[in-house]
Amino acid sequence: MSKNPMQTKFCDLMGIEFPIIAFTHCKDVVASVVNAGGFAVLGEAMHTPDEISADIKWIRSRVGDKPFGIDLVLPASAPGADTLEKLLAGIPEEHKKFAQHIKEKYNVPEPKGAQALHQWGGLNQDIARGQIDVILDEKAPAFVSGLGSPEFMLKAAHERGMKVFGLIGKTRQAKRELEAGVDAIIAQGYDAAGHTGPIGTFSIVPEVAAIAGDVPVIAAGGVTHGRHLAAALCLGAAGVWTGTIWLACRESDNDMIIKEKLIEATSDDTVYSRSVSGFPMRVLKCPWTAEWAKPEAPKTLNSPYQMLLSSDYIQAANDHRRADLMFEAAGQGVAFVKSMKPARQIVFDMVEEALAAFEEITGELPE
Amino acid sequence: MADTPRNATPGFDAAVAGRRAECDGGGPVLGTRYASRQEFAGTITGEYVDHGDPAWRWYLMTDLTLKPDGYPDDTVWCEKNSIFFADEDDT
């Protein structure tokens, strides 16, 4: 093998050693992955501009000049805003009764405090704009748009020396963002955790790679093992976007109960369910998802009504650390989350597994 | 009708007014760290709002022929680069 397949154009673009991107909501994971030679992106969708600014400074204090990214969920469409009271009043009685039935059947306690969901004002264009402005002010090394197009802020970001990546679920979205001039495209497949697009990772990645030219394509969805990394590079990707694998790592601030559930889970233990948010969302199976999947359950509500309905269960489960009730978003690759390893070890293991996979195919070790 | 967003500068773009379009929309899911896509199809009225500098432009879509189940409004604001016009080849 004449070329090390780990040295991709994404590595060249960002000046990193390994084409592994960790997406996480935990700053400690970001620092560990970046210092291990990978790239990491901190999800900040639920944070205020002041919190984002403080987080960027904290990461810089841990990684120095090494690059990292900040992810926001830019909205792509927006209805008019309703008050919480109006939304709560819109939940049908049948659905309230069914939620109460689940609560009684599983002895779900009352949440300890006011529901965080009810205190959060949501994310409209005004709030998102404030988040973007602070990322530009702080000159974060990279900005990742987790949903809507970042085209409007590309010029401003590039003028500040920043890179901008877009996450897409359809080829036409990739085409639009490539034309706008993003520095990398993250093509996310159906296997991923949370809310995903309808197209599988094996289909979306080579399709986007075919139109991306020299722009690096990053494969997302179901990536938790070095074999996935090797396969993604063969599909035309220049790296992988990983999420689930970091949820149970040593540095992760997830509850220990959730970490244990992730480690025990197989690929059959996730479910694509509308019962949590009203949108199809891949999560670990739990009593809430199981009950809403039964024939006698009412049809799940549209967002945000279903989320308002499920928020009582979620908050109570987490407040009281009820292992039988708790769940987390997880991708289908969760089966390869086997232990609570340090994040840097996950990076090194994934690289070694990928190189072993290439060696199996070619009979050679890369230089 | 969807409310006009706050802190935005309104305007009208005749070049897009009356054109049929799809919007690969969506956004954050209330109370979670996650987002979800929502697909819309309808007519762009030409009304827009610009947020901040550099301007982040949103167009108003009406006459919705495709919207998520239970979507409560007759209109939706669509981010400019998430709109795909029926008379343009975006495939």
Task: Give domain limits for chain B.
Answer: 9-85
* Whole-number percent of chain A with pLDDT over 90: 75
Q: Which domain holds residue A34?
A: 9-354
Residues 180-199 of A with CB under 8 A from B: 180, 194-195, 197
Q: Which residue of A has its CA nearest to B3?
A: A80
Name the more confident of A237 and B88: A237
Secondary-structure percent of chain A, ordered helix, strand, coil, rounded to 5: 45, 15, 40
pLDDT of A119 above 50: no
- For residue A2, tell me if it sits in a domain: no
Q: Which of residues 251-270 of A touch B (CB under 8 A)?
A: none
Q: How does residue B32 score in pLDDT terms, banded at 50, 70 and 90?
A: low
CA distance A145 to A151: 10
pLDDT at A115 over 80: no
**How far, in Å, CA of A151 to CA of A275, rounded?**
33
Alpha-carbon distance A21 to A256, whole Å? 24
Mean pLDDT over A163-188 rounds to 95
In a domain, A363, yes or no: no
pLDDT category of residue A174 using cuts at 50, 70 and 90: very high
Q: Is the pLDDT assigned to residue B3 strictly greater than 70?
A: no
pLDDT of residue A116: 54
Q: Percent helix, strand and coil across chain B, each rounded to 5?
A: 5, 55, 45
Helix (H) or strand (E) holding A85: helix A84-89
A244 touches chain B (CB under 8 A): no
CB contact A173 to B (< 8 Å): yes
What local confidence, expressed as pLDDT, does residue A81 receive? 57
**Cβ-Cβ contacts under 8 Å for A299 (sequence gap 6 or more):** none
CATH number at residue A45: 3.20.20.70
* Model pLDDT, residue A367: 59
Q: Which pLDDT does position B71 carry in this prediction?
A: 77
Q: How many contacts (CB atoms, under 8 Å) link A and B?
A: 172
| Cα–Cα dist B48/B9, whole Å | 8
Q: Reply yes or no on whether the pLDDT at B47 is more than 70.
A: yes
**Residue range A247-271: average pLDDT?**
96
DSSP A267: G
**In-domain check, residue A17:** yes
The tally of domains found in chain A comes to: 1
CB–CB contact A152 B40 (8 Å): no
CA distance A2 to A7: 12
pLDDT band of B26, cuts 50, 70, 90: confident
Distance from CA of B16 to the nearest CA of A (A): 17
Chain B residues close to A71, C-beta within 8 Å: none
Cβ distance of A308 and B23 shorter than 8 Å: no
Q: What average pLDDT does the segment A220-245 reach?
A: 97
Over 90: is that where the pLDDT of A219 sits? Answer: yes
- Tell me, yes or no, whether A1 lies in a domain: no
At residue A79, the pLDDT reads 67
Whether residue A161 is contained in a domain is answered as yes
Q: What angle do CA A192, A195, A201 make, to 5 degrees?
A: 35
Q: What is the mean pLDDT of residues A282-288?
A: 95
Please state, rounded to an integer, the average pLDDT across all residues of chain A: 91
Q: Is a pLDDT exceeding 90 seen at residue A325?
A: yes
Which residues between 4 and 33 in chain B have a beta carbon less than 8 angstroms from any beta carbon of chain A?
5-8, 23-33
Q: How far is A361 from chain B (nearest CA, A)?
A: 35
Please give the C-alpha separations between residue A105 and each of A97, A100, A328, A338, in angstroms, as whole numbers.
12, 9, 21, 32
**pLDDT range class, residue A83, cuts 50, 70, 90:** low
